[in-house]
Amino acid sequence: QVQLVESGGGLVQAGGSLRLSCAASGRTFNSYAMGWFRQAPGKERGFVSAITWSFGLTYYTESVKGRFTISRDNAKNTVYLQMNSLKPEDTAVYYCAARGGRIISAALTTLTTYQYWGQGTQVTVSS
């Protein structure tokens, strides 16, 4: 089992920045691919970003490329999502997710790939 706890959400003006953290406990963190998803009111949960456990390869949804950066610190069992140039449309609950074992990179964008989920943290961007 892996437990995930997100933090760092809040209210920020458009153009501002936030850094989300996801602290993991349980099994060996550095063998898990980690992802961030978000869900806005009335919308489905969607992929934001992911990072592999081997080589630290990163993936982003098109709308956040160049603004968001995912990273991980295996020594701290933590994955981060640095969010810059935030827009009102980034407003959502952001969820951290983990997946162990080998998977193809294309699967990292899919909800059902992930075995473990955090409780979510609210990000609100005001215009």
Q: Give the lowest-confidence range in 5-14, 27-36, 63-72.
A: 27-36
Number of H helices, E strands in the chain: 0, 11
Cα–Cα distance between 95 and 99 in angstroms, integer?
13
pLDDT of amino acid 59:
96
**pLDDT band (50, 70, 90) for residue 29:** low
Residues shown for the chain: 127
The conformational region for residue 15 under phi > 0 = left, psi -120 to 50 = alpha, else beta, is left
What tens digit of pLDDT does each residue of 61-98 get?
999 999 999 999 988 989 999 999 999 999 999 999 99
**pLDDT band (50, 70, 90) for residue 53:** confident
Specify burial of residue 54 (Cβ count, 10 A radius: 0-12, 13-18, 19+): exposed
Beta-carbon neighbour count of residue 99 at 10 Å? Answer: 22
Task: Calculate mean pLDDT across residues 36-65.
Answer: 95
What tens digit of pLDDT does each residue of 90-117 get?
999 999 999 988 888 889 999 999 999 9
pLDDT of amino acid 56:
87
